[in-house]
């Protein structure tokens, strides 16, 4: 039985997510009146990509290896060259089928190609559906640092069928749920409590619970984006867990996946902010992540306060040498706390 929901952000982005809705993708793209369609997909999704390309009438299909390795300047150049070869114009719709790293790469390229072409994100992971495809942030890595080059440009359409998630390994499925827990922890006590109730069903990947969590994530994030698209104030709260989380990713050479690193970062940042974040809050966040089946233990070889501090100091949010964190002093609320090398070491001890 088909279940779906839509979220329309002003006149900019239409979001359609549901179960059994793949057949609606073609009409949704045609409603944009594109001057041709190019499909970029994760190379591991070839069979799905060929099926979808035929159903939407794509003029070209481009396969790209996913993962953090694709978020590089040379990959942007390669993709732009391929778009030119296929005769893409400013009216062309770039349809992106894959996870968050591919959404970042193709979204960034689409936002600068001919000063911006239509982008349609078709996220195929819970992380991409719950976070990466939403809000218009498009970033690629530079040197050892994550998302140092980027744009903010909203996609024209975000479209996902949760049946696409069925092939995901459990670890990848669950890491996207970390982003839902993060948002609820700093934005909505009622949503956090709902996640606590849904946790067993989410761990078992039940479709109704999955769709409920995704709808929760979309609504929370897009309400924040509507209020603060350029991250001047409120949107910064969505970085909860990312200051230390991104440092863990960088120190590990990207061997720790993003969702896992953020889960580790959530608890590490709360501990670094204690007693502003009380033990009760830390305990409930830890318990929720555990019930979702997500590990929050930083691997010993990456739990080096000195190295993590070096990367934290290079975070995009740093101002005047101060490294900010955005944490929940009470579940559903947020405040800003400065991270120091001493508080980071305390959090890891």
Residues 152, 237 share a domain: no
Domain at 314, CATH number: 1.20.1090.10
Beta-bridge partners for 19: 3
* Closest by CA position to 281, among listed 220, 239, 335, 317: 335
> Of 131, 282, 291, 278, which is closest to residue 214 (Cα–Cα)?
131
Residue 20's domain comprises 3-167
Global pTM reads: 0.92
Radius of gyration of the chain (CA): 19
Query: Distance between CA atoms of 130 and 5, rounded to whole angstroms?
Result: 14
Q: Do 39 and 52 contact (CB within 8 A), yes or no? A: yes
Is there a single domain that holds both residue 158 and residue 242?
Answer: no
**In this structure, are 115 and 198 located in the same domain?**
no
Q: Are residues 205 and 157 in the same domain?
A: no
What are 183-192's pLDDT values in tens digits?
999 999 999 9
Residues annotated as catalytic are 115, 137, 179, 221, 231, 235, 239, 242, 246, 258
Do 189 and 123 fall into the same domain? no
What is the count of structural domains for the chain?
2
Same structural domain, 121 and 234: no
Both structure tokens of 345: 């070491």
Q: What CATH number is associated with residue 133? A: 3.40.50.1970
Contacts 24+ apart (CB under 8 A), 227-232: 229/135, 229/136, 229/152, 229/154, 230/152, 231/152
Residue 285 shares a structural domain with residue 256: yes
- One domain, residues 190 and 325: yes
**So what's the pLDDT on residue 145?**
82
Find the angle CA(276)-CA(248)-CA(322) to the nearest 5 degrees. Answer: 50
SS3 string, the chain, reads: CCEEEEEEECCCEEEEEEECCHHHHHHHHHCCCCCCEEEEEEHHHHHHHHHHHHHHCCCEEEEECCCHHHCCHHHHHHHHHHHHHCCCCCCCEEEEEECHHHHHHHHHHHHHHHHCCEEEEEECCHHHHHHHCCCCEEEEEECCEEEEEEEECCCCEEEEEHHHHHHCCHHHHHHHHHHHHHHHHHHCHHHHHHHHHHHHHHHCCCHHHHHHHHHHHHHHHHHHHHHCCCCCCHHHHHHCCHHHHHHHHHHCCCCCCHHHHHHHHHHHHHHHCCCCCCHHHHHHHHHHHHHCCCCCCCCHHHCCHHHHHHHHCCCCCCECCEEEEEECCCCCCCEEEEECHHHHHHHHC
Q: Same domain for 290 and 319? A: yes
One domain for residues 145 and 290: no
Write down which residue in 101, 133, 167 finishes a domain.
167
Q: Which residues contact 79 (CB under 8 A, 6 or more apart)?
A: 40, 62, 64, 105, 106, 109
Block means of pLDDT (10 residues each) for the chain, length 349 residues?
A: 52 86 97 97 97 98 94 97 97 97 97 97 97 94 89 95 95 95 98 98 96 95 90 91 95 92 98 97 98 96 95 91 96 97 96
- 263 and 309 assigned to the same domain: yes
Cβ–Cβ < 8 Å for 155, 13: yes
Last residue of a domain, one of 111, 141, 167: 167
Are residues 96 and 196 both part of a single domain?
no
End position of a domain, from candidates 127, 147, 167 = 167
């Amino acid at each position: 039985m088909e279940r779906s929901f839509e979220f329309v952000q002003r006149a900019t982005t239409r979001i359609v997510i549901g179960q059994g809705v793949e057949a609606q993708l073609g009409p949704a793209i045609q409603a944009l009146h594109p001057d041709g369609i190019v499909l970029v997909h994760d190379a591991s999704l070839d069979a799905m990509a060929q099926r979808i390309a035929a159903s939407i009438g794509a003029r070209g299909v481009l396969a790209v290896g996913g993962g953090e390795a694709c978020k590089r300047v040379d990959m942007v150049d390669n993709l732009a060259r391929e778009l030119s070869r296929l005769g893409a114009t400013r009216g062309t719709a770039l349809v992106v089928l894959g996870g968050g790293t591919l959404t970042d790469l193709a979204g960034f390229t689409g936002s600068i190609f001919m000063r911006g072409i239509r982008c349609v994100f078709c996220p195929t992971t819970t992380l991409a559906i719950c976070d990466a495809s939403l809000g218009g942030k498009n970033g690629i890595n530079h040197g050892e640092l994550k998302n140092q080059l980027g744009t903010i440009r909203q996609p024209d359409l975000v479209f996902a069928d949760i049946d696409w998630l069925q092939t995901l390994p459990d670890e990848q499925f669950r890491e996207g749920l970390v982003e839902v827990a993060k948002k609820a922890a700093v934005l909505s006590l009622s949503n956090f409590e709902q996640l606590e109730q849904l946790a067993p069903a989410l761990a078992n990947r039940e479709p109704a619970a999955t769709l409920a969590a995704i709808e929760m994530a979309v609504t929370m994030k897009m309400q924040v984006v509507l209020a603060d698209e350029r991250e001047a104030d409120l949107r910064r709260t969505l970085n909860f867990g990312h200051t230390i989380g991104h440092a863990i990713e960088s120190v590990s050479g990207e061997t720790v996946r993003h969702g896992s690193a953020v889960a580790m970062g959530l608890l590490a940042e709360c501990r670094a902010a204690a007693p502003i974040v009380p033990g009760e809050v830390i305990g409930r966040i830890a318990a929720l992540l555990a019930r979702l089946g997500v590990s929050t233990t930083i691997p010993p070889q990456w739990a080096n306060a000195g190295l993590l501090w070096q990367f934290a100091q290079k975070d995009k949010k740093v101002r005047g040498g101060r490294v900010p964190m955005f944490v929940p002093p009470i579940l559903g609320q947020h405040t800003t706390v400065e991270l120091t090398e001493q508080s980071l070491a305390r959090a890891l001890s």
